[in-house]
């Protein structure tokens, strides 16, 4: 299947389709688009490509089940599902193609194993493929349909004359009400014989088929007929032979009471005069007398309460008789407390345990029964085994109590029945808006009969339920079933000439009926082009599904419309999905005011003019090897292929759209304009409907101005086709316009409209997006005589307009009353003149002024053309971006896509910052991502009222901003080409009407953004470029974080790209580049993304600044580095190790030389001192120096110590000491006065007394430093083995030597002994444990020998770092147990809690700016005492997957070569929130931290380098180990 026949359906982790909401809630609907001529047989009509997110829950042992047949020759069976296996990994989405060969509804669902290990299935997800309609071989879009309804019995002898009239009005589809043999009422919808056509007109079905063929060829018209599934004529002969096809006392015993009530009401109606009641109701007093009579002579006599209740007397007799029986077979033991309980409680027990099922359902009289045997057991066990008067009384009380709610139910039902009867009789006999039936007779009884009564062929008497409808009924409940009491409660507005058909659950329930109706459906599907499902909302879904599937087997391209009045858009969607409905009928004549009509036209007129168009943005993965084609987005209206948004060949996206409408200006069920409004309103109502972006239709007689709604039962006259021209001439003109519109607009996005309502006037501008052509309608309605309103001159900015035609409709005669012909009210069409159209060349505006004479009932239609829009514009906008972005590199991508406000200010020296949108605020980035982050939601919702939309309409500032800012980056590769592409497109946009500017601006920005994003993927390696959207979004933060600044660099004298710790807080000057952050982030952000040169530069730059054997925490371009981080040196060596591990020939970095910022004796010198950079070392030597200095011990006072260096540090805090405890090999360091690990928050509140007191000093041996040390030793030993590192030992503080291998072994031997806290206290002797301060077991300590011993035992997430970099230190089973505890206790939704919530010091809310008396939290001292940090989550996931793989067999596939889908599911469950965060964040990154349980932290940096970098580490681990 080629891409232009493929649609992409993205699914979330639960398998739910991801769809835009710019159209509101809708149905997944494919385009109506035929295969090109010459397509090989067996080619799918479409391919729906499902994209299953990598590692998603539904992928675990996941299968997709679809009822799409596997090939063109396999018949569609909606109940037969075919299996497709999901092959998703954790790093790559799976794409599963569902080939669709024929129109109709299709569905799929997932089966998978959930997190509990149980098999689970999702709901079914439906998509609908519309039919492909053709007239005379030419394709007809659904929006091109113009339908005319005719009623066959009014067509007379010469049907051709009717067809000629319809053809002259340019209709292209004829809707026939049922052409079958009619029943005794003569209504077309009361069908006597479904398998016989009307013998008055047709000898057989062949003649009908010949008529349809003639309509196709001669009149170029498609045909549509009603199919009636729900009922048959009350006199249908076949029903006498098969009464089981209806609801009667045998097939539906729950209707017995209703049948008796209906019979009694009919009997009462016959006896009114005999009983002394009025037979002709003239007042409410008469009606009240009748209602009294019903109560007395009907309800009292038929005792309907007996259908509800238990027969107390009979039950008591049976109880007495069976009292001494043997009930040992009954296992019933009522609770003993019931003996002293009240009667109500005992009765409830009997109701629950001692009745005969079914109980509580209406059937026969006293069919609700107690199981007497069980009842006896209850009585005997509660009250004794001797029968007595007391027990009899108790039994009677219990039974009476059991009956009480049943009597209440009866009372409620009868009250409702009486209320319904009152209102129905009132409507039929008294109401002015009712039929006023007159005297009660046998033919017109008091109220319509609910049942048709006859003697069946078997000689038995039957009463079959008549069909009807219920106000506000639930369409999913069959109101004749035992789920409803509508017939008893008289809630059905019944059709006395129609018997409701009983289908049951399937053909096995009523075989004759199903077979008969199947023959009926097949016969009609063979002849007609479409079905109108009569009374669809009352058709059981399974019935509609069965017969429409059958019909489509006969005619695959059957056009199916439905009369669906469910009262709920949700219910409408359900029917459309399940039945594959092509269109839903909507009725303009239901509008009771100009405002309602305007709203209806607005709903169906098209998308608002200037709507945003869908373009893939940052919500799609851009595969680096995706196919590219500059012509892929070109548009050819003659080619029905589906084009995509840009040159990037991503298939078209399948999304949900509202159910397609067939908008009728008037149906054969509607009152006419003459009745509801005025004759004159016929014309404006028709014109407004005609311009809508939908199928349209009209009843024959509307155009001809028939005065009244015609009665389908009683009307016997025929159409007058030779007179009554009405508005036919204008209808032909309007249908011509529809044809022209729909030649241009082949896509839902092509058609736009603007509707405005002003009193009597409704103006409607319909436009084609791609060509700018339009049609403007001014309609002056006439809902009544409302006086002389004059419409102000209409002004069109950047639009030219020309009058096409203008008419008014005037009545010029009285309502006709011909006994033989159906005639229209005499009217004339008056051609209107005197319109003044003026185009002002200077303002590019057209003004249209109406003539003085433009009465109510007038229309004027204009041709319009939007200036600057032509058929070439769309392709020009969408093309050329790929070429423009070809030369971009990572740094120029950073300039084009990003730059926070401080960064842009830094680079432009204060001249430029982020764009400020009035009434919205500043964007977060100056580059394209800043705009995309806002446009994403705007486009998704088509938010034309957004402040950005308004800003774009008001001026071109945003356009100029985006191009002009690139002047500052014109020396960067590829930027001039991007700037020129933007400028050329924006210049074209400036020529367009202002109201189109937002849409085209968004299109331009999204397209160039797409190409930039793709360019980034092309520059990155396959583990990124071919990965998921989430991985690619993470990787783009590498581009986001690395930029060239003016105020800082990684080198003191050279401007080089530097990595920001986070944006915007850590973006410029000394605050940008942090040693610890850089090296924690380096593997993920720079190495896994292939940015080896930038990684190398950062390694070399920091190596230059090594001092005291430490890497600085703050680099400050190497000019004034600060050495207050004990861990940075070890993260540095880890980064070098990662570099050598990942980069081809990476070991060469070991011999790269760097000039040293400081002398070897650690003397502080300024950057310009001759001693600065006066000697060089290789990276190998730098690494050795780190080991050597630590082995000997480090002790110094920070240079320039004092408030200028750190305003809150106490004097003692500037003293730094680090040493190795050679009994364990552990590195110890720090003091209670400073904080040398990443948990480095210093107290700042004088008010709380925390000024200069570290929040988390973490002195002693920190667990992550020990892990990093072990990893570094392992690394050096391996380099020794390979001959890449010459030194093999270091000198200790006592002057003796120790080899790296011995040091490594020392750590291995002591780590778990010193750090592990066993689950079982009986094992404490194996470890160094102080039981008195153990808070939680089964974990690893955070510290060893800190200044506050209890802090050793705190559960913090730092051990995860050690687990990840040095897994060999950990016993796998113990490690997994500790990880499980961490998962349950300190894992938050997005980050890791920095302290165990059970800890006394746990304070999870970080508010840095808040000062208070709280020592723990004032000025944010609790930064690391509970708030949840995201970067550690990456280490958690890496350790989680590593040790699950090692320990848990469930985490491995059968071959033990790859992770199982179980492990992927568990990882996805833990990372889904991150994917959601980065997708929704305007910063397109992941925050530094959150507060408790993922709550937003306002003081967190919104996008942080290590937050995303460490997650990329985890993905790289998985890719490299199992997928590369």
Helix orientation angle between 997-1019 and 890-897, rounded to the nearest 10 degrees: 160
Return the higher-pLDDT residue of 700 and 569. 700
Catalytic position from the list 537, 604, 1190, 1424 = 537
Is the Cα dihedral 1016, 1018, 1020, 1025 positive or negative? positive
* Mean model confidence pLDDT for the chain: 95
Query: By percentage, how much of the chain surpasses pLDDT 70?
Result: 98
Tell me the pLDDT band of 788, cut-offs 50, 70 and 90: confident
d(CA 277, CA 287): 10
CA atoms within 13 A on the CB side of 885: 27
- 1364: its two tokens: 């990840």
Give ∠ CA 286-289-293 in degrees, rounded to 5.
140
Question: What average pLDDT does this structure show over 584-591?
Answer: 96
Question: Smallest Cα–Cα separation from 962: which of 1007, 1029, 1016, 906?
Answer: 1007
Give how far Cα 526 sits from Cα of 73, 150, 225, 967, 1451, Å: 20, 20, 12, 68, 56
**Model confidence pLDDT, tens digit, residues 688-728:** 999 999 999 999 999 999 999 999 999 999 999 998 899 99
**Model confidence pLDDT, tens digit, residues 152-185:** 999 999 999 999 999 999 999 999 999 999 999 9
Q: Pinpoint the alpha helices (H) of 1231-1356.
A: 1263-1281, 1300-1315, 1349-1352
Residue 25 is predicted with a pLDDT of 73
Question: Smallest Cα–Cα separation from 1100: which of 1013, 1173, 1164?
Answer: 1173
**Model confidence pLDDT, tens digit, residues 968-982:** 999 999 999 999 999
Residue 638 is predicted with a pLDDT of 55
Query: By percentage, how much of the chain surpasses pLDDT 90?
Result: 90
Helix orientation angle between 1029-1041 and 1505-1518, rounded to the nearest 10 degrees: 140
Tell me the pLDDT band of 744, cut-offs 50, 70 and 90: confident
Instruction: Reply yes or no on whether 537 is catalytic.
Output: yes
Instruction: Reply yes or no on whether 604 is catalytic.
Output: no
- 112: its two tokens: 């998978």
- With 90 as the cut, is the pLDDT of residue 742 above it? no
Give ∠ CA 484-490-493 in degrees, rounded to 5.
95
Taking a C-beta distance cutoff of 8 angstroms, is the pair 376, 325 a contact?
yes
**Model confidence pLDDT, tens digit, residues 542-555:** 999 999 999 999 99
Tell me the pLDDT band of 907, cut-offs 50, 70 and 90: very high
Give the residue carrying structure tokens 């159906």. 822
Return the higher-pLDDT residue of 156 and 644. 156
Is residue 661 classed as helix, strand or coil in its secondary structure?
A: strand
Q: If phi over 0 gives left and psi between -120 and 50 gives alpha, with beta otherwise, what is residue 564?
A: beta
- With 70 as the cut, is the pLDDT of residue 635 above it? no
Helix orientation angle between 1461-1480 and 1029-1041, rounded to the nearest 10 degrees: 50
Tell me the pLDDT band of 1, cut-offs 50, 70 and 90: very low
**Model confidence pLDDT, tens digit, residues 314-325:** 999 999 999 988
d(CA 1008, CA 981): 9
Residue 21 is predicted with a pLDDT of 58
- 754: its two tokens: 């603007």
Tell me the pLDDT band of 618, cut-offs 50, 70 and 90: confident
Tell me the pLDDT band of 650, cut-offs 50, 70 and 90: confident
Question: What average pLDDT does this structure show over 1139-1154?
Answer: 98
Residue 2 is predicted with a pLDDT of 56
Question: What average pLDDT does this structure show over 1410-1428?
Answer: 97
Report the relative pairing of strands 1261-1262 and 1226-1229 from DSSP bridges.
Answer: unpaired
Question: What average pLDDT does this structure show over 403-413?
Answer: 97
Instruction: Reply yes or no on whether 534 is catalytic.
Output: yes
Which of 166-180, 372-386, 1185-1199, 1243-1257 is least confident?
A: 372-386
Return all residues near 458 (Cβ < 8 A) that are at least 6 apart: none
Question: What average pLDDT does this structure show over 478-488?
Answer: 94
Question: Smallest Cα–Cα separation from 688: which of 710, 665, 706?
Answer: 665
Question: What average pLDDT does this structure show over 1059-1071?
Answer: 97
Give how far Cα 272 sits from Cα of 442, 446, 1387, Å: 11, 9, 80
- With 90 as the cut, is the pLDDT of residue 23 above it? no
Catalytic position from the list 629, 669, 747, 1414 = 669
Return all residues near 601 (Cβ < 8 A) that are at least 6 apart: 688, 689, 692, 755, 762, 764
d(CA 272, CA 283): 16
Return the higher-pLDDT residue of 37 and 840. 840
Catalytic position from the list 93, 534, 768, 1010 = 534
Report the relative pairing of strands 530-533 and 493-500 from DSSP bridges.
Answer: unpaired
**Model confidence pLDDT, tens digit, residues 268-309:** 999 999 999 999 999 999 999 999 999 999 999 999 999 999
- 301: its two tokens: 């006599």
Give ∠ CA 1174-1175-1181 in degrees, rounded to 5.
150
């Amino acid at each position: 299947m080629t891409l232009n026949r493929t649609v992409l359906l993205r699914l979330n982790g639960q398998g739910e389709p991801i769809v835009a909401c710019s159209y509101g809630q809708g149905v997944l609907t494919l385009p109506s688009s035929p295969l090109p001529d010459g397509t090989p047989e067996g080619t799918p009509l479409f391919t729906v490509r499902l994209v299953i997110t990598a590692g998603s829950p539904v992928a675990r042992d996941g299968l997709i089940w679809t009822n799409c047949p596997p090939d063109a020759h396999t018949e569609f069976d909606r109940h037969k599902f075919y299996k497709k296996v999901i092959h998703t990994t954790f790093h790559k989405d799976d794409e599963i193609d569902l080939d669709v060969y024929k129109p109709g509804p299709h569905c799929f669902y997932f089966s998978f194993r959930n997190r509990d290990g149980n098999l689970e299935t999702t709901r079914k997800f439906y998509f609908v493929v519309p039919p492909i309609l053709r007239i005379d071989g030419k394709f007809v879009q659904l929006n091109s349909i113009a339908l005319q309804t005719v009623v066959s019995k009014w067509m007379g002898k010469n049907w051709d004359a009717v067809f000629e009239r319809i053809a002259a009005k340019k209709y292209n589809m004829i809707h026939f009400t049922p052409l079958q043999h009619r029943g005794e009422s003569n209504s077309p919808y009361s069908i006597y014989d479904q398998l016989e056509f009307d013998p008055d007109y047709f000898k057989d079905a062949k003649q009908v088929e010949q008529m349809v063929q003639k309509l196709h060829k001669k009149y170029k018209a498609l045909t549509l007929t009603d199919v009636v599934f729900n009922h048959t004529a009350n006199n249908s002969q076949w029903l006498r032979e098969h009464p089981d096809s209806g609801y009667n006392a045998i097939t539906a015993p729950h209707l017995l009471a209703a049948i008796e009530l209906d019979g009694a009401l009919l009997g009462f109606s016959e006896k009114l005069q005999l009983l002394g009641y009025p037979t002709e109701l003239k007042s409410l007093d008469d009606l009240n007398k009748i209602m009294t009579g019903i109560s007395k002579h009907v309800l009292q006599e038929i005792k309907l309460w007996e259908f509800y209740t238990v027969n107390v007397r009979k039950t008591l007799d049976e109880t007495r008789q069976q009292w001494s029986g043997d009930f040992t077979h009954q296992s019933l033991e009522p609770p003993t407390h019931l003996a002293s309980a009240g009667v109500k409680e005992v009765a409830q027990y009997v109701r629950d345990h001692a009745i005969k099922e079914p109980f509580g359902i209406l059937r026969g009289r006293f069919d609700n029964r107690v199981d007497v045997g069980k009842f006896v057991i209850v009585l005997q066990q509660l009250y004794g085994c001797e029968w007595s008067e007391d027990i009899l009384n108790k039994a009677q009380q219990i039974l009476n109590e059991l009956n009480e709610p049943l009597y209440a139910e009866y009372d409620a039902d009868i009250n409702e029945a009486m209320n319904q009867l009152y209102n129905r009789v009132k409507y039929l006999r008294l109401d002015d808006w009712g039929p006023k039936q007159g005297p009660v007779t046998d033919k017109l009884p008091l109220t319509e009969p609910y049942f048709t009564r006859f003697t069946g062929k078997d000689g038995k008497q039957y009463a079959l339920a008549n069909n009807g409808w219920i106000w506000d009924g639930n369409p999913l409940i069959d109101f004749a079933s035992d789920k409803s009491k509508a017939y008893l409660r008289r809630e059905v507005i019944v059709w006395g000439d129609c018997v409701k058909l009983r289908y049951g659950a399937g053909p096995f329930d009523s075989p004759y009926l199903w077979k008969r109706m199947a023959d009926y459906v097949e016969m009609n599907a063979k002849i007609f082009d479409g079905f109108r499902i009569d009374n669809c909302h009352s058709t059981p879904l399974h019935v509609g599904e069965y017969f429409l599937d059958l019909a489509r087997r006969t005619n695959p391209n059957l056009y199916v419309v439905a009369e669906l009045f469910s009262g709920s858009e949700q219910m409408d969607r359900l029917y459309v999905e399940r039945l594959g409905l092509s269109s839903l009928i909507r009725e303009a004549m239901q509008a009771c005011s100009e405002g309602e009509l305007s709203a209806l036209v607005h709903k169906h007129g098209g998308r608002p003019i200037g709507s945003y168009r869908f373009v893939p943005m940052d919500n799609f993965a851009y595969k680096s090897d995706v196919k590219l084609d500059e012509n892929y987005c070109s548009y050819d209206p003659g080619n029905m292929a589906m084009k995509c948004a840009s040159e990037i060949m991503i298939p078209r996206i399948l999304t949900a759209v509202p159910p397609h409408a067939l908008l009728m200006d008037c149906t054969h069920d509607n009152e006419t304009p003459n009745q509801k409004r005025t004759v004159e309103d016929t014309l404006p109502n028709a014109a407004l409907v005609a311009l809508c972006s939908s199928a349209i239709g009209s009843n024959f007689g509307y155009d001809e101005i028939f005065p009244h709604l015609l009665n389908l039962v009683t009307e016997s006259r025929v159409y007058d086709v030779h007179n009554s021209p009405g508005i036919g001439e204008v209808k032909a003109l309007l249908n011509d316009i529809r044809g022209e519109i729909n030649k241009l607009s082949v896509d839902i996005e092509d058609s736009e409209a603007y509707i405005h309502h002003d009193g009597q006037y409704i103006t409607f501008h319909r436009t084609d997006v791609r060509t700018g052509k339009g049609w403007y309608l001014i309609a002056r309605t006439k809902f009544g005589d409302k006086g002389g309103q004059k419409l102000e001159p209409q002004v069109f900015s950047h639009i030219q307009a020309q009058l096409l035609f203008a008419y008014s409709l005037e009545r010029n005669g009285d309502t006709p009353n011909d006994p033989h012909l159906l005639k229209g009210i005499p009217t004339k069409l008056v051609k209107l003149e005197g319109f003044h159209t003026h185009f002002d060349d200077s303002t590019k505006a057209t003004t249209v002024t109406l003539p003085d004479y433009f009465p109510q009932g007038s229309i004027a239609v204009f041709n319009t053309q939007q200036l600057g829009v032509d058929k070439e514009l769309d392709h020009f906008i969408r093309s050329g971006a790929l070429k423009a972005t070809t030369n971009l590199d990572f740094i120029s991508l950073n300039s084009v896509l990003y730059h926070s406000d401080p960064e842009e200010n830094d680079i432009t020296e204060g001249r430029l910052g982020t764009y400020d949108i009035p009434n919205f605020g500043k964007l977060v980035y100056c580059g394209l991502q800043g705009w995309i982050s806002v446009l994403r939601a705007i486009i998704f919702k088509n938010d034309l009222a957004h402040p950005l939309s308004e800003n774009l309409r008001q001026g071109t500032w945003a356009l100029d901003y985006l191009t002009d800012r690139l002047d500052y980056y014109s020396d960067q590769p590829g930027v001039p080409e991007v700037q020129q592409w933007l400028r050329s497109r924006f210049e074209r946009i400036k020529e367009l009407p202002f109201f189109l500017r937002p849409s085209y601006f968004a299109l331009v920005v999204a397209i160039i953004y797409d190409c930039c994003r793709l360019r980034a993927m092309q520059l990155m390696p396959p583990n990124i470029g071919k990965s998921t959207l989430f991985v690619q979004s993470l990787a783009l933060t590498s581009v986001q974080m690395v930029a060239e600044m003016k105020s800082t660099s990684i080198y003191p004298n050279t401007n080089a790209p530097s990595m920001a710790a986070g944006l915007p807080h850590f973006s410029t000057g000394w605050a940008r580049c942090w040693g610890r952050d850089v090296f924690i982030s380096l593997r993920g952000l720079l190495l896994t993304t292939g940015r080896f040169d930038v990684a190398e530069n950062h390694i070399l730059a920091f190596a230059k600044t090594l001092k005291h054997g430490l890497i600085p925490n703050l680099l400050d371009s190497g000019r004034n580095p600060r050495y207050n981080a004990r861990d940075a040196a070890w993260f540095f060596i880890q980064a070098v190790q990662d570099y050598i591990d990942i980069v081809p020939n990476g070991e060469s970095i070991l011999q790269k030389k760097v000039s040293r910022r400081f002398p070897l004796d650690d003397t502080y010198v300024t950057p310009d001192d001759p001693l600065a950079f006066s000697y060089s070392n290789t990276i190998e030597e730098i690494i050795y120096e780190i080991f050597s200095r630590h082995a000997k011990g480090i002790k110094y006072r920070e240079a320039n110590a004092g408030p200028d260096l750190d305003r809150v540090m106490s004097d003692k805090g500037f003293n730094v000491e680090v040493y190795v405890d050679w009994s364990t090999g552990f590195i110890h360091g720090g003091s209670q006065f400073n904080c040398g690990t990443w948990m480095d928050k210093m107290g700042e509140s004088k008010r709380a007394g925390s000024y200069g007191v570290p929040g988390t000093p973490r002195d002693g041996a920190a667990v992550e430093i020990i892990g990093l040390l072990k990893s570094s030793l392992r690394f050096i030993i391996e380099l020794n083995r390979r001959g890449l590192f010459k030194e093999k030992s270091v000198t200790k503080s006592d002057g003796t030597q120790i080899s790296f291998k011995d040091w490594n072994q020392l750590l291995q031997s002591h780590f778990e002994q010193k750090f592990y806290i066993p689950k079982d206290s009986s094992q404490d002797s194996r470890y160094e444990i102080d039981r008195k301060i153990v808070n939680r077991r089964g974990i690893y300590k955070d510290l060893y020998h800190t200044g506050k011993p209890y802090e050793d035992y705190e559960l913090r997430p730092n051990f995860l770092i050690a687990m990840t970099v040095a897994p060999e230190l950990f016993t796998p089973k113990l490690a997994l147990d500790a990880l499980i505890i961490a998962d349950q206790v300190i894992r938050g939704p997005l980050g890791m809690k920095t302290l165990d919530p059970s800890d006394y010091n746990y304070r999870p809310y970080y508010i840095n700016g808040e000062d208070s008396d709280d020592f723990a939290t004032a000025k944010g001292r609790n930064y690391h005492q509970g708030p949840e940090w995201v970067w550690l989550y990456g280490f958690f996931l890496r350790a989680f997957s590593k040790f699950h793989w090692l320990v848990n067999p469930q985490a491995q596939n059968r071959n033990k070569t790859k992770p199982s889908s179980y492990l992927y599911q568990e990882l996805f469950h833990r990372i889904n929130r991150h994917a959601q965060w980065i997708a929704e964040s305007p910063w397109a990154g992941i925050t530094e931290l959150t507060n408790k349980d993922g709550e937003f932290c306002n003081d967190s940096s919104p996008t942080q380098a290590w937050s995303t970098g460490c997650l990329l580490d985890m993905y790289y681990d998985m890719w490299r180990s199992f997928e590369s």
